[in-house]
């Protein structure tokens, strides 16, 4: 058996999310079906992050074990040929040690959330960004984001369905970066709680629109209560960007 | 009657092109249908450029005449509400003089052509960029582009269906700009021949891949013969960016 790490891009719009589901298409099932067609082997593909329905990835990292002799390059080419027309593409593949694990070896995860500010509906960005129709106060958003960076109990920003043992997480980065069309929010941590990035971005939007002050963000965090959440942003704008591993 | 100028964004993928057609959807028909629903008036929408099937616009300029009293802001909001779910959005509207014409008053047109260089298929950019799988020599492309700037007979770069009286055009700008994923080609002129931008970009790609030299580009131009064209780029990567008018 050879273990391969894959770097994967996908458009989350047609999928129920990363994880295999009985009731609809998933990115994981698309990759496992392609792997079966390429190798004749029934494999499980493990990812660094199990993204929700409608969430995208520019550089998801995943691994799978293959018995058939094949090079990393041929594997990526063959998977891409079988993935069509699903909007999932293997950008890179490499051999990794047998004890390397896309999820458990991962030491940092990086997300981007794209907000477009305009009155007009989106066209080709429909489902690929969150449209807000009122101007955003970016410095206020940055001040609000500052309250969340560091090690905290993120219960307020955690889905009721979150299965993590602890609500404690260390948020290494939460940057609000201006773009030509709005703002991009960059979030980095060793790991995130379920819905954490979308919940933080939803509240940052309230701060940007002047409906919350940066202090309200601090108060929401301190409340450690899901009921204190202002707004959960839709999946549309969220992209899993990349994952870091010790050897990298 | 009040004449309104509209700035329009659209995703060209589902359309047969800008121009109204008997046999399929067009951007013009979508706008004229929305205007009829908003005003009860049968109008003709005139555009600065009649883009082909699959070509996009970030800032197409068009005009229409409305008898019903309505402000520019209300018109744009109402059109956007009626355009759904078509991927066409009115970004801005303003009143213009009765003799102002989106096509005939236009003094410059600006296009961008997006090329992504990678082995992997595109995901959310499918139909929104031209994917090339081999590296591009950008300086060579820039040298090739330089041969086309200025006033020339562009017969080589003109569709057989082009209806312009003269093949003479003045190309003001043809810039090859590096991006994170490949190159963007920016083209500006008072007006273009049919397929001119796509034909120029197709040949620039040949230069970038080393299949043509910059001198071959000059020779193709000098040939003034459609048979000398190397390659016509697909519509996918082409965006009508903006149009200039004397008053602007």
State the nearest Cα–Cα gap between A122 and chain B, in angstroms.
7
Residues B40, A54: Cα–Cα separation, whole Å:
38
Q: Would the CB atoms of B126 and A13 count as touching at under 8 Å?
A: no
Inform me whether the pLDDT recorded for A68 exceeds 70: yes
Q: What is the pLDDT of residue A31?
A: 98
Q: What is the pLDDT of residue B44?
A: 97
Q: What is the pLDDT of residue A248?
A: 55
For the stretch A40-53, pLDDT in tens is 999 999 999 999 99
Token pair listed for A66 = 């293959």
Nearest beta carbon to residue B87 from set A83, A90, A126:
A126
HSE toward the beta carbon, residue A195, CA cutoff 13 A: 18
State the nearest Cα–Cα gap between B10 and chain A, in angstroms.
6
What domains sit in chain A, N to C, each tagged with a CATH number? 2-96 (3.30.70.580), 108-244 (3.30.70.660)
B10's CB contacts (< 8 A; 6+ apart) are A123, B27, B56, B57, B60, B87, B88, B89
DSSP output for A83-143:
HTTSSEEEEEEEEE-TT--TTTS--EEEEEEEEEE-SSPPSTTBTTBEEE-S---HHHHHH
State the nearest Cα–Cα gap between B83 and chain A, in angstroms.
9
Q: For A54, which DSSP code?
A: T
Average pLDDT over residues B38-57: 97
Q: What is the pLDDT of residue A36?
A: 98
Kindly tell me the sign of the dihedral angle through the C-alpha atoms of B2, B5, B8, B13. Answer: positive
- For residue A233, which of A57, A61, A52 has the smallest C-alpha distance? A52
DSSP H helices in chain B: 27-39, 72-83, 138-146, 196-208, 214-223
CA distances (Å), origin A33, targets A3, A36, A46, B157 = 17, 5, 14, 44
Q: What is the pLDDT of residue B158?
A: 95
Number of helical (H) and strand (E) elements in chain B, helices listed first = 5, 10
Q: What is the pLDDT of residue B161?
A: 87
Residues of A with a Cβ under 8 Å from any B Cβ are: 9-11, 13, 56, 76-77, 80, 83-84, 87-91, 118-124, 126, 128
Q: Which residues of A are annotated as a binding site for substrate?
A: 111
Residue numbers in B near A9 (CB within 8 A): 120, 123
CA distances (Å), origin B148, targets B49, B219, B240 = 21, 11, 20
- For residue B198, which of B164, B151, B245, B230 has the smallest C-alpha distance? B230
Q: What is the pLDDT of residue A247?
A: 72
Residues A215, B164: Cα–Cα separation, whole Å:
63
CA distances (Å), origin A56, targets A108, A124, A127, A131, A248 = 18, 15, 10, 16, 23
Q: Would the CB atoms of B123 and A87 count as touching at under 8 Å?
A: yes
For the stretch B99-127, pLDDT in tens is 999 999 999 999 999 999 999 999 999 99
- For residue B124, which of A186, A124, A130 has the smallest C-alpha distance? A124
DSSP output for B10-55:
E--TTSSBSS--SSS--HHHHHHHHHHHHHS-----EES--PBTT-
Q: Would the CB atoms of B123 and A10 count as touching at under 8 Å?
A: yes
Residues A201, A158: Cα–Cα separation, whole Å:
12
Token pair listed for B221 = 């131009």
Q: Would the CB atoms of A123 and B91 count as touching at under 8 Å?
A: no
Kindly tell me the sign of the dihedral angle through the C-alpha atoms of A5, A193, A171, A117. Answer: positive
Number of other residues whose CB lies within 10 A of the CB of residue B231? 16
Q: Would the CB atoms of B10 and A123 count as touching at under 8 Å?
A: yes
CB pairs under 8 A between A and B: 54
Kindly tell me the sign of the dihedral angle through the C-alpha atoms of A58, A63, A68, A72. Answer: positive
State phi, psi for B203 to the nearest 5 degrees.
Answer: -70, -35
Q: What is the pLDDT of residue B157?
A: 96
Residues A157, A233: Cα–Cα separation, whole Å:
11
Q: Would the CB atoms of A123 and B83 count as touching at under 8 Å?
A: no
Tokens 């060579």 locate to: B140
Average pLDDT over residues A225-243: 96
Catalytic residue among B11, B22, B52, B172: B52
Inform me whether the pLDDT recorded for B66 exceeds 60: yes
Q: Would the CB atoms of A13 and B80 count as touching at under 8 Å?
A: no
Average pLDDT of chain A, as a whole number: 96
Nearest beta carbon to residue A123 from set B77, B87, B120:
B87
Indicate the pLDDT class of residue B195, thresholds 50, 70 and 90.
very high
Q: Are A47 and A103 in contact (CB under 8 A)?
A: yes
Nearest beta carbon to residue A120 from set B11, B90, B118:
B90
Residue numbers in B near A124 (CB within 8 A): 11, 13, 56, 87, 128
In a mutational test of the B interface, the residue from A88, A90, A123, A238 whose CB has the highest number of chain B CBs within 10 Å is A123
Q: Are A43 and A36 in contact (CB under 8 A)?
A: yes
Please state, for a pLDDT cut of 70, what percent of chain B lies above it.
Answer: 100
Q: Would the CB atoms of B124 and A89 count as touching at under 8 Å?
A: no
Cα end-to-end distance, chain B, whole Å? 23
For the stretch B158-170, pLDDT in tens is 998 888 899 999 9
Residue numbers in A near B55 (CB within 8 A): none
For the stretch A207-219, pLDDT in tens is 999 999 999 999 9
Q: What is the pLDDT of residue B41?
A: 97
Q: What is the pLDDT of residue A229?
A: 92
DSSP output for A180-230:
SSEEEEEEEES---TTHHHHHHHHHHHHHTTSS-HHHHHHHHHHT-GGG--
Average pLDDT over residues A80-97: 97
Average pLDDT of chain B, as a whole number: 96
Residue numbers in B near A119 (CB within 8 A): 76-77, 80
For the stretch A112-135, pLDDT in tens is 999 999 999 999 999 999 999 999
């Amino acid at each position: 058996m050879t273990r391969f790490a894959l770097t994967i891009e996908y458009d989350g719009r047609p999928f129920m999310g990363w994880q295999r589901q009985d009731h609809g298409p998933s990115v994981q099932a698309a990759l496992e079906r392609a792997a079966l067609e390429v190798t004749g082997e029934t494999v499980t593909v493990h990812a660094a992050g199990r993204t929700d329905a409608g969430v995208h990835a520019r550089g998801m990292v995943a691994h799978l074990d293959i018995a058939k002799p094949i090079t990393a390059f041929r594997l990526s080419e063959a998977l891409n040929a079988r993935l069509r027309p699903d909007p999932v593409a293997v950008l890179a593949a490499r051999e990794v040690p047998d004890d390397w694990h896309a999820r458990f070896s991962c030491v940092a995860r990086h997300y981007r959330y794209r907000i477009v500010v305009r009155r007009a509906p989106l066209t080709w960005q429909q489902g690929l960004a969150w449209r807000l129709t009122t101007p955003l106060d970016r410095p206020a958003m940055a001040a609000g984001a500052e309250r969340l960076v560091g090690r905290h109990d993120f219960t307020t920003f955690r889905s009721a369905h979150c299965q993590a043992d602890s609500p404690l997480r260390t948020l290494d980065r939460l940057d609000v970066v201006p773009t030509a069309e709005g703002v991009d929010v960059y979030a980095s941590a060793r790991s995130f709680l379920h819905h954490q990035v979308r919940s933080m971005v939803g509240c940052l939007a309230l701060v940007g629109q002047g409906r919350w002050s940066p202090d309200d963000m601090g108060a929401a965090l301190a409340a450690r209560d899901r009921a204190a959440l202002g707004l959960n942003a839709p999946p549309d704008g969220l992209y899993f960007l990349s994952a870091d591993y010790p050897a990298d």
